[in-house]
Structure 1
């Protein structure tokens, strides 16, 4: 299995779901089991599909925090059990066939990588957690990993995919820094300059003024235009940390994808853009009560005629 081949996992699961042996894996069955997308809450013992760009993995969750999960990869092939892997029997899974988990490849992953739940193996996850805590020791010469080239290749591919999924790219760092760099003095701007910005951005003047005032961060494309017109990018007050954390949850991945496609953004850029917009809406509302960010996101989506539960 190579990194590029891991994207077959969702299609492979769908194909299995269409067999009489595994009707539990159809979209409708998974929604009945786990609820609408906007209510999804990752929990230990669940198997999720994790996605980043063109890399897809199945992972078994062992622990869940606000921003990350502790997880081990799961494969439907090869079926193997050795010091680096173990089996979960078929009667425990929705596949009705055994799957291989890899305790030796346990990793902490950003929760934002989780795309959708696939299964819940319950107490079987405890055995995996025990193996993570107390890995089996075996000499390299006696290890089946050394003797079986298919298993060795599968493990190497999983290691590469896990490394790629957790890598923080230079582009992501540069984008985050650029979104809060510089500032624009609106009092020094001529009316014709504002009109030029509105024309080039394809946005009405109030939207341009919101960008200048820092009510939301510009997209990368908007930042380029504003630097060309104004000589600087706008300064934006960061959205509340609780809102940024909430948008990392997989229940909002549908909204993130819609924004990503519309403005040709990365996942992280799309989440941040959404957080700024919802934050701007919340700032216009009064009251001292701490905001319920899930409720605010749903109201924002409704106002923009978006459905967080829409199937992708």
Structure 2
């Protein structure tokens, strides 16, 4: 049943090699000439990450799309994305990784930021002035990471929220209006969070409308007005991306993937996948494995 294409999955603790670790969070500043071997292979992360590229250049694949990132820039990844560095080149970066639990914290209060909105594209080019502003938050987190003073987790968490908020209002992102506390924006944020959790088993807009106490038509109209896509399009995009990831890993047959994503049968899954990608699952699987191996 298994094949030889199974990629590793990392969490925050796998990356946090420091004297005073902080559960669910890690930050460092480093310069790469030769990329670490574990980053050169496709891998999946169970945490969020923000990388500030201060100078130099790096080439990465993120969910099967190639990005050449030249500093100054910021790269934002969310859990379960497939990520890979390619080649070696000199670049200086600040790496920030954190778990959902750290971002939310023990109070259960969620982030005020719609991460799905912030991460509309994983790579954002920065001006020198924008980088300077973002580095202000990063420097404070780096300083606190070396501290043994009480409440450092609270200070770091507050700085992290501020950093994400600052990124969300960068002019080129055009999403600052999405973060204001209006009813439509609250619906978008709640839908984004719910669909991240339930897209496999709740595939119809009506499912989310029920959970949000609105009508399906109102939910679709609200999502489209804010994000430019219908709620159904977003649900389908999440299902397709997870299907691509599962096809790449090689841990499951196509029939098992169809079952995992709650399709009635693999024939329906084949038609759904081809409609959205132009490829059958088998064709995509063959081409993506040849590309990465």
TM-score range, shorter chain: under 0.3
Return the TM-score normalized by structure 2: 0.25
**Larger relative strand fraction:** 2
Structure showing greater Rg: 1
Return the TM-score normalized by structure 1: 0.24
